[in-house]
Amino acid sequence: MNFRTDLALERTEPSKQTKRTKDGCTVTRVEEGGGVYITLEVESISDHIDADDALLELLTEELTSLLPKEGPVLAAGLGNRAVTPDALGPLTAERVLATRHIKGEIAKVTGLEGLRPVAVVSPGVLGCTGMEAFEVLQAVVNETKPSAVIAVDALAARSPSRLGCTVQLSSTGISPGAGVGNSRPRIDAQTLGVAVVSLGIPTVVDASTFALDLTDGGDVQEKAAPRGAPMMVTPREIDLIIERGSRLLAMGINRALNPSLSVEEFSQLAG
């Protein structure tokens, strides 16, 4: 059986992983496909919401290491805002501070001079817009010419224990929907022509994978996917995971792109 997962640490051998622990967070580094995957694991992301939390600082540090040092950046919130387990990207985008338009006299008057240009977009999903997320991003990239794209999306995990407890960063881009068997056009440096850093939190587990883990094998395919319709499992507290997870990711992006502003200032400016 093929297990569906977006997490590099679940599809690679432990011997190919480098682990370290910092401030109660396990950091796993995997080099795969010509890029790097960095995974941060804590007991629960929903418990890490304080402004001075170590997880935020660690996330900011790792994200900064994957991004170009200079140049404008496009932050893209992938996913469907109307479906809670898939709303991580759009909610994160809402909280990222757009600064590309803050320049000249406006920057002087507001005291926001010298900020790195940041544009933000939520491309939606094919079923709602009639356009692939990749098509929207390609058009925006061609117009705004960023040095990099940060693509935020909800992920799928193999293990239920990783739901709401894991953040994955990658320099290799992302294939939206791949973890739930609905793969869309890939978003990466090759397809967009600029560096793409992906960022996400696992919010669902494939039901067949979950059932297999619970039963230690056996014929679970029909029960887990009645009438051939695959199902996904998500935590009961998914609303809280999405709400606090999106705040964490957005603040990490804000701090990585414009470290001169404090968490409190970002909270006032971006909401």
Query: By the 8 A CB rule, do 102 and 146 touch?
Result: no
Category of 263 on φ-ψ map: left (φ > 0), alpha (ψ -120 to 50) or beta? alpha
Tens of pLDDT along 63-112?
Answer: 999 999 999 999 999 999 999 999 999 999 999 999 999 888 888 887 78
Tokens of 161: 């224990």
Reported as a pLDDT band with limits 50, 70 and 90, residue 179 is very low
8-263 CATH, one of 3.40.50.300, 3.40.50.1450, 3.40.30.10, 3.40.50.150: 3.40.50.1450
Whether 217 shows a pLDDT value over 80: the answer reads no
Task: Please tell me the predicted confidence (pLDDT) of residue 109.
Answer: 82
Would you kindly state where each structural domain of the chain is located, as residue ranges?
Answer: 8-263
Tens of pLDDT along 136-170?
Answer: 999 999 999 999 999 999 999 988 889 999 999 99
Whether 126 shows a pLDDT value over 50: the answer reads yes
Write down the mean pLDDT value for the chain. 87
Residue 103 corresponds to which amino acid?
Answer: K
- Whole-number Å distance between alpha carbons of 114 and 102: 9
Measured at the CA of 157, the angle between CA 216 and CA 60, to 5 degrees, comes to: 145
- Whole-number Å distance between alpha carbons of 204 and 233: 5
Task: Please tell me the predicted confidence (pLDDT) of residue 107.
Answer: 80
Whether 218 shows a pLDDT value over 50: the answer reads yes
Whether 206 shows a pLDDT value over 60: the answer reads yes
Residue 228 corresponds to which amino acid?
Answer: G
Task: Please tell me the predicted confidence (pLDDT) of residue 181.
Answer: 55
| pTM beyond 0.85, yes or no | yes
The percentage of the chain sitting over the pLDDT mark of 90, rounded to a whole number, equals: 62
